Amino acid sequence: MNRGRMRAALIAGGIAPSEETLSTLSTGLSTIAHGYHIERVINEAKTETALSKELLQLHKAFCTAASILDADMSGLNQIEVLLSEPLHGKGVRQLLDQLRSLCSHIEMLLAVLAQNIAIRKRRQNPETWFFLAVHDLFARLTGDEAPGIAGPLHRFTKYCAELTDARIVVPKGENSFQKRLATALRRRT
Q: Crossing angle of helices 19-44/151-164, nearest 10°?
A: 70
Q: Exposed/middle/buried for 111, CB within 10 Å: 0-12, 13-18, 19+?
A: exposed
User: So where are the chain's domains?
Assistant: 3-44+124-188, 48-119
> Which of 61, 6, 39, 25 has the alpha carbon at shortest distance from 136?
25
59-108 pLDDT, tens digit each: 999 999 999 988 988 888 888 877 777 666 567 888 888 999 999 989 98
Q: Crossing angle of helices 126-142/151-164, nearest 10°?
A: 120
| Mean pLDDT, rounded, for 158-170 | 93
> Which of 122, 131, 123 has the alpha carbon at shortest distance from 180?
131
Which one is predicted more confidently, 63 or 113? 63
**Helices assigned H by DSSP within 45-173:** 48-74, 78-84, 92-119, 126-142, 151-164
C-alpha 41/C-alpha 183 separation (Å) is 23
C-alpha 87/C-alpha 104 separation (Å) is 24
> Which of 93, 177, 71 has the alpha carbon at shortest distance from 128?
177
> Which of 181, 183, 165 has the alpha carbon at shortest distance from 173?
181
Query: How far is Cα of residue 65 from the mean position of the Cα atoms in its chain?
Result: 34
Within 10 Å of residue 170's Cβ, how many Cβ atoms?
A: 19
Q: How confident is the model at residue 147 (pLDDT cuts 50, 70, 90)?
A: confident
7-51 pLDDT, tens digit each: 999 999 999 999 999 999 999 999 999 988 888 877 777 777 888
